[in-house]
């Protein structure tokens, strides 16, 4: 098939012409043997025109879906609804709205003939990860724990790609992608539900700080808790409310506290109330806090539960544990 075969057709955009030419060549000589120069020559456009629309040969196949994934990411990042699971489902179903058959559907059906099996596996894995990350971040903001959010994210990433593949094999022009996404969403939704909210809407630790300015500068500027609210009243009364991310209440019996003290320190005893703050770099954060005046009670060390913990004494006489989740070995 060549460009002369297009005589009499409605005029297509350069992007559509390039995609059609690429798929023709992939079928004729295989994906690896086809160069960008081959594609632009067949399409009758310049090399610069190719890069106006696509970053690579592979991008020709995935561009349509990638545009929708960008919209999915933006929608989930902005979604602050009370039901994170419902927000994820709605965002995923929106991917299928008026999604017309494109180069990706053709490539999936003709993967072996085009020499695309490995390419589709590799690029599909990247899209599954992309979807999974966006979903996991939304569910985490909605209150899901890290493990639950990551598992659910992986399920949704797999569901979307499985739906696209099933749609292609069913005849992408015969039925809608929305139909397959709805079925896939039902399967992924079984691992997405976050725990129902309890009666408590926020955990706030209230601290009496004799040196208010010192404590404020330390916890806001050094530890890194952004100030969300602040109030003043008669007689010099002041309060600042700092955002510490997700709040949980950890209840431990005496035996567990003793065990934690043995693992986390060299004999330091826990206060009745100790603040544990998750950070990305325990060693670096410990050094930063110590330089700002905190007393290091125990340097960073790895725990049996795969975290890197240190313990400090901060302003307002607060005992702090910094912990960095290390993940699986």
Residues facing 273 on adjacent strands: none
pLDDT digits (tens, 9 = 90+) for 271-324: 999 999 999 999 999 999 999 999 999 999 999 888 999 999 999 999 999 999
129 pLDDT more than 70: yes
CA distances from 62 to 19, 25, 72, 103, 262 (A): 11, 17, 15, 8, 53
Q: How many residues does the chain have?
A: 329
User: How far is 32 from 39, CA to CA, in rounded Å?
Assistant: 12
* pLDDT tier for residue 268 given thresholds of 50, 70 and 90: very high
pLDDT at 195: 56
* pLDDT tier for residue 3 given thresholds of 50, 70 and 90: very low
pLDDT at 8: 42
pLDDT at 2: 44
pLDDT at 122: 95
pLDDT at 7: 41
Residue 300 DSSP symbol? E
User: How far is 116 from 23, CA to CA, in rounded Å?
Assistant: 11
pLDDT digits (tens, 9 = 90+) for 155-192: 999 999 999 999 999 887 777 888 899 999 988 887 76
pLDDT at 173: 73
pLDDT at 247: 85
pLDDT at 224: 93
In this prediction, residues 138-142 reach a mean pLDDT of 88
User: How far is 310 from 322, CA to CA, in rounded Å?
Assistant: 5
User: How far is 112 from 169, CA to CA, in rounded Å?
Assistant: 13
pLDDT at 197: 60
Residue 142, number of CB atoms within 10 A of its CB: 21
pLDDT digits (tens, 9 = 90+) for 6-52: 444 444 568 889 999 999 999 999 999 999 999 999 999 999 889 99
- What would the two tokens of residue 96 be? 């299928």
In this prediction, residues 48-66 reach a mean pLDDT of 92
DSSP string computed for 11-65: PPPHHHHHHHHHHHHHHHH-TTT--HHHHHHHHT--HHHHHHH-SSHHHHHHHHH
Residue among 81, 66, 205 nearest 128 (CA)? 66
- Asked if 39 and 50 count as a contact pair (C-beta separation under 8 A), the reply is yes
Buried b (16+ CB within 10 A) or exposed e, 187-216: ebbeebebeeeeeeeeeeeeeebeebeebb
* pLDDT tier for residue 1 given thresholds of 50, 70 and 90: very low
pLDDT at 290: 97
User: How far is 72 from 87, CA to CA, in rounded Å?
Assistant: 11
User: How far is 271 from 318, CA to CA, in rounded Å?
Assistant: 9
pLDDT digits (tens, 9 = 90+) for 205-251: 999 999 999 999 999 999 999 998 888 988 999 999 998 887 888 99
* E strand intervals along the chain: 227-233, 237-242, 275-278, 295-302, 307-314, 318-325
Q: What angle do CA 76, 77, 81 make, to 5 degrees?
A: 65
Check the CA dihedral 173-178-183-187 and report its sign: positive
Residues facing 231 on adjacent strands: 239
């Amino acid at each position: 098939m060549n460009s002369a075969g297009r005589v009499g057709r409605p005029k297509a955009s350069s992007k559509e012409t390039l995609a059609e030419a690429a798929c023709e060549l992939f079928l004729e000589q295989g994906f690896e043997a086809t160069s960008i120069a081959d594609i632009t020559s067949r399409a009758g456009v310049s090399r610069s025109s190719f890069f106006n629309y696509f970053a690579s040969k592979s991008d020709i196949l995935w561009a349509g879906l990638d545009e929708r994934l960008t919209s999915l990411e933006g929608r989930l990042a902005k979604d602050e609804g009370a039901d994170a699971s419902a927000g994820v489902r709605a965002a995923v179903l929106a991917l299928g709205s008026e999604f017309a058959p494109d180069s990706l559907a053709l490539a999936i059906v003709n993967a072996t003939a085009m020499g695309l099996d490995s390419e589709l596996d590799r690029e599909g894995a990247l899209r599954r990860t992309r979807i999974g990350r966006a979903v996991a971040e939304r569910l985490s903001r909605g209150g899901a724990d890290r493990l639950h959010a990551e598992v659910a994210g992986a399920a949704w990433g797999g569901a979307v790609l499985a739906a696209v593949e099933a749609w292609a094999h069913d005849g992408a022009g015969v039925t809608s992608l929305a139909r397959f996404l709805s079925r896939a969403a039902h399967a992924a939704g079984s691992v997405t539900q976050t725990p129902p909210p309890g009666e408590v809407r926020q955990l706030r630790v209230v601290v009496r700080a004799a040196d208010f300015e010192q404590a404020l500068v330390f916890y806001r500027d050094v530890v890194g808790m952004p100030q969300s609210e602040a109030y003043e009243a008669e007689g010099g009364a002041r309060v600042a409310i700092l955002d510490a991310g997700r709040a949980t209440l950890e209840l431990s019996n005496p035996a567990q506290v003793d065990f934690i003290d043995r693992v986390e320190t060299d004999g330091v005893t826990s206060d009745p109330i100790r603040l544990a703050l998750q950070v990305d770099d325990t060693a670096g954060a410990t050094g930063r806090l110590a330089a700002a005046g905190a007393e290091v009670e125990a340097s960073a060390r790895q725990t049996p539960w795969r975290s890197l913990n240190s313990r400090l004494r901060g302003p307002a006489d607060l005992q702090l544990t910094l912990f960095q989740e290390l993940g699986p070995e």
